[in-house]
């Protein structure tokens, strides 16, 4: 680029090299190693003056040598302090600003470089400053430095871009103190260093603009400048007219009135909303007060109920305790009765943990599948007894079984409603049958029966060692449930009196088919000696029942001990009186719960 064509628009960056705060004393920086005469005036008038020699013509002295042992004999602390002093005396925070003539404000301010001696400031673009700045060739550069606390002006230098010397690059150059290097579009330039002829570019020659094109461009630029000047003049005239015209306050007042009316309507709506909110709050508060009053009255009633219930609490607690004791006693009695009904005794074989139920031996889930049919029948009968006993215990102990049992003698079964099985395969037999699948189903059914017995034992607080011990676990359960220090309560006397009429009516309908006895006892049922059933059928009631039964059999009159009728031949024929259902007789009876009796013998 030709020197006369350099402008500020071509400037993109500035570098600072060899920062220094010392002022020069009339010598160059390399004069220290040169043999130069002293700058002090000589007293001898005969001394002749010599021309100053430049740095290129300086030659080192023949006997001069470098002083490299200045800090050799010092301590490390001294050397460290000396280095810190050297760095502190040379390094600083620096930034620069660019100024133009006729303008006090800078056209550009760089960023701050931190603690260094050589600075590479960021590139910048001055095209936003306008053509009045970008077309200039001269600029003032000011360097500002901060060594400790305050900023000071370090260097102020007027730079003419047309007088800069081309460097090409910053390598292999010895920079003087505070040397400024300018980065233009075509390379590096400096004012302090010698110029270097730029290498010619190996490019094809480009056609330049003609004179007419340049004139058109100049005319266009002048037109633009005239338009800008006209715009500024029109703006000044408009501003002067606005200043001279009196201010009209009517539109502003109208706008203020409209704004005030808008605010007024908004505030009225707010007031109406606040009033509605106030009414709602009053209604809500009133409803809450009523609810509080109702709650207080309910609380008082509840307190009265609690007070009344507290007076009954000891009696209720005593009743609950007595009921629990009664339930426990009844359960003891029932378990003792069940232990007598289904006696579990040691097996005749004498093997350990071998028991029999109702004199039918039952192994502990271990038997030979190839046994005889009599052994299978015995096993089925024993499991039927165990199923019947387990099924009864679930109701008396109030423990629902996980696997329901269907007691049916030696053909009992058990159901699994928990496992993922087809609905048709949920019932498992408790009796052995032929076939491998039947054997598996029988073993699984026995396992489910043992699980039910385990659930009953767990409900009673017992710990089962092995669930395969069917009869030992069951006997242990009956023993624990029937154990206790108190006496076993007696069975409630009486019976189900509602069954009397049904039994009497059934016996009366049988007619003469009923056999008569001298004492009038019935084989259909009877009462235990000393019970209310035997005591209530005495005296007139027994005679009344005998007479009623005799009339239903066809006899108009009857005696409480014997009935007789006269046949066609005139001889007396004895008639068999009907036995009473609750009379004492020479028949075998079995005792049931709640006074219910059942005839287990035959008619006499």
Write the pLDDT tens digit of every residue in 401-449.
999 999 999 999 999 999 999 999 999 999 987 767 888 899 999 999 9
Q: What is the DSSP letter of 390?
A: H
Beta bridge partners of residue 414, listed in sequence order: 405, 428
Positions of E strands within 430-483: none
Lowest mean pLDDT among 20-29, 97-106, 188-197, 471-480: 20-29
Positions of E strands within 58-202: 92-99, 108-109, 113-116, 119-120, 138-146, 151-160, 165-166, 179-184, 187-190
Residue predicted with more confidence, 370 or 525 = 370
Closest by CA to 161, choosing from 187, 123, 130, 143, is 187
Residue predicted with more confidence, 603 or 585 = 585
pLDDT score at 65: 54
Three-state DSSP at 342 gives coil
Q: Per-residue pLDDT averaged across 49-61, rounded?
A: 49
Closest by CA to 100, choosing from 65, 55, 135, 151, is 135
Write the pLDDT tens digit of every residue in 531-573.
444 444 445 556 666 666 565 455 444 444 333 333 444 444 4
Residue predicted with more confidence, 192 or 161 = 161
Lowest mean pLDDT among 244-253, 329-338, 395-404, 494-503: 494-503
pLDDT confidence tier of residue 376, bands split at 50, 70 and 90? confident
Specify the pairing of strand 187-190 against strand 165-166. Answer: antiparallel
Q: Per-residue pLDDT averaged across 163-192, rounded?
A: 88
Question: Which stretches of 94-204 are DSSP H helices?
Answer: 131-134
Lowest mean pLDDT among 80-94, 159-173, 479-493, 560-574: 560-574
DSSP secondary structure string, 545-592? HHHHHHHHTT-S---SS-EEEE-TTS-EEEEPPPPBTTS--SS-EEE-
Token pair belonging to 529: 């000696």
Residue predicted with more confidence, 502 or 86 = 86
Is residue 50 predicted with pLDDT exceeding 50?
no
C-alpha separations of 11 from 4, 125, 171, 195 in Å: 14, 8, 20, 18
pLDDT score at 56: 47
Residue 394 burial (C-beta neighbours within 10 Å; 0-12, 13-18, 19+): middle
Q: Per-residue pLDDT averaged across 108-116, rounded?
A: 91
Is residue 528 predicted with pLDDT exceeding 60?
no
d(CA 15, CA 178): 10
Q: Provide, rounded to the nearest whole percent, the portion of the chain with pLDDT above 90.
A: 41
**Contact present, 191 and 180 (Cβ < 8 Å):** yes
Three-state DSSP at 267 gives helix
Q: Per-residue pLDDT averaged across 196-217, rounded?
A: 78
Give the DSSP H or E segment for 406: strand 405-406
Q: Provide, rounded to the nearest whole percent, the portion of the chain with pLDDT above 70.
A: 70
pLDDT score at 391: 95
d(CA 189, CA 13): 11
Is residue 458 predicted with pLDDT exceeding 90?
yes
Question: In the β-sheet with 413-415, what is the strand arrangement from edge to edge?
Answer: 405-406, 413-415, 427-429
What average pLDDT does the structure give for the chain?
77
Is residue 468 predicted with pLDDT exceeding 70?
yes
* 120-134, 380-394, 565-579, range with greatest mean pLDDT: 380-394
Is residue 295 predicted with pLDDT exceeding 80?
yes
Q: Per-residue pLDDT averaged across 106-116, rounded?
A: 91
Lowest mean pLDDT among 83-87, 180-184, 329-333: 83-87
pLDDT confidence tier of residue 450, bands split at 50, 70 and 90? very high
Is residue 603 predicted with pLDDT exceeding 70?
no
pLDDT score at 404: 96
Residue predicted with more confidence, 498 or 146 = 146
Lowest mean pLDDT among 150-159, 354-363, 485-494: 485-494
Q: Per-residue pLDDT averaged across 16-38, rounded?
A: 60
> Would you state the torsion angle of the CA atoms of residues 27, 33, 36, 40, taken in this order, to the nearest 10 degrees?
50
Give Cα 147 to chain centroid, integer Å. Answer: 60
Write the pLDDT tens digit of every residue in 252-286.
899 999 999 999 999 999 999 999 999 999 999 99
Is residue 328 predicted with pLDDT exceeding 50?
yes
Lowest mean pLDDT among 337-341, 373-377, 416-420, 566-570: 566-570
Q: Per-residue pLDDT averaged across 322-346, rounded?
A: 91
Q: Per-residue pLDDT averaged across 309-322, rounded?
A: 90
pLDDT score at 172: 82
What number of other Cβ atoms are within 10 A of residue 493's Cβ?
14
Is residue 576 predicted with pLDDT exceeding 50?
no
Contacts of 176 (CB under 8 A, 6+ apart): 18, 28, 29, 192, 193
pLDDT score at 371: 64
Three-state DSSP at 460 gives coil
* 13-27, 61-75, 217-231, range with greatest mean pLDDT: 217-231
Beta bridge partners of residue 521, listed in sequence order: 580
pLDDT confidence tier of residue 173, bands split at 50, 70 and 90? confident
Closest by CA to 8, choosing from 198, 161, 219, 167, is 161
pLDDT score at 408: 94
């Amino acid at each position: 680029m030709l020197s006369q064509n350099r402008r500020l628009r071509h400037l993109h960056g500035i570098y600072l090299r060899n920062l220094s705060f010392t002022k020069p004393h009339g010598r160059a920086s390399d004069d220290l190693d040169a043999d130069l005469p002293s700058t002090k005036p000589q007293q001898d008038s005969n001394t002749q003056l010599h021309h100053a020699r430049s740095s290129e013509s300086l030659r080192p002295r023949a006997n001069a040598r470098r002083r490299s042992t200045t800090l050799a004999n010092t301590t490390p602390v001294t050397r460290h302090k000396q280095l810190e002093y050297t760095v502190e005396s040379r390094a600083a925070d620096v930034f620069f600003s660019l100024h133009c003539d006729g303008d006090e404000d800078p056209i550009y301010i760089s960023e701050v470089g931190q603690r260094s001696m050589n600075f590479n400031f960021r590139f910048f673009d001055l095209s936003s400053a306008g053509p009045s700045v970008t077309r200039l060739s001269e600029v003032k550069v000011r360097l500002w430095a901060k060594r400790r606390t305050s900023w000071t002006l370090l260097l102020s230098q007027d730079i003419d871009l047309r007088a800069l010397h081309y460097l090409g690059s910053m390598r292999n150059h010895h920079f003087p103190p505070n040397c400024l290097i300018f980065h233009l579009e075509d390379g590096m330039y400096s004012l302090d260093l010698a110029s270097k002829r730029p290498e010619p570019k190996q490019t094809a020659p480009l056609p330049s603009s003609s004179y007419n094109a340049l004139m058109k461009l100049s005319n266009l630029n002048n037109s633009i400048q005239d338009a800008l000047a006209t715009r500024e003049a029109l703006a000044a005239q408009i501003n002067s007219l606005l200043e001279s015209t009196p201010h009209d306050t009517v539109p502003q007042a109208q706008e203020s009135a409209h704004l005030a009316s808008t605010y007024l309507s908004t505030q009225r709506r707010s007031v109406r909303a606040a009033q509605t909110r106030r009414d709602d709050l009053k209604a809500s508060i009133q409803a809450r007060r009523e609810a509080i009053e109702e709650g207080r009255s309910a609380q008082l009633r509840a307190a009265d109920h609690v007070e009344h219930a507290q007076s009954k609490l000891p009696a209720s607690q005593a009743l609950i305790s007595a009921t629990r004791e009664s339930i426990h006693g009844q359960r003891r009695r029932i378990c003792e009765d069940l232990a007598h009904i289904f006696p579990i005794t040691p097996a005749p074989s004498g093997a350990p943990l071998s028991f029999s139920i109702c004199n039918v031996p039952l192994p502990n889930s271990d038997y030979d599948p190839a046994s005889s049919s009599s052994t299978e029948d015995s096993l089925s009968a024993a499991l039927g007894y165990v199923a019947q006993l387990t099924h009864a215990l679930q109701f008396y102990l109030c423990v629902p079984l996980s696997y329901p049992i269907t007691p049916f003698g030696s053909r009992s079964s058990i159901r699994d409603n928990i496992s993922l099985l087809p609905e048709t395969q949920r019932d498992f037999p408790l009796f052995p049958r032929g076939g491998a699948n039947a054997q598996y189903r029988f073993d699984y059914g026995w396992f489910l029966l043992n699980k039910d017995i385990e659930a009953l034992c767990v409900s009673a607080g017992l710990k089962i060692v092995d669930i395969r011990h069917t009869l030992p676990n069951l006997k242990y359960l009956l023993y624990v449930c029937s154990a206790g220090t108190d006496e076993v309560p007696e069975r409630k006397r009486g019976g189900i009196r509602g069954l009397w009429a049904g039994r009497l009516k059934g016996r009366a309908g049988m007619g003469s088919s009923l056999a008569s006895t001298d004492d009038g006892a019935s084989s259909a049922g009877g009462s235990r000696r000393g019970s209310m059933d035997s005591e209530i059928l005495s005296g007139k009631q027994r005679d009344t029942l005998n007479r009623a039964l005799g009339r239903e059999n066809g006899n108009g009159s009857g005696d409480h001990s014997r009935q007789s009728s006269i046949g066609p031949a005139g001889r007396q024929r004895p008639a068999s009186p009907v036995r009473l259902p609750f009379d004492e007789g020479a028949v075998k009876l079995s005792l049931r719960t709640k006074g219910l009796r059942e005839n287990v013998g035959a008619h006499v």
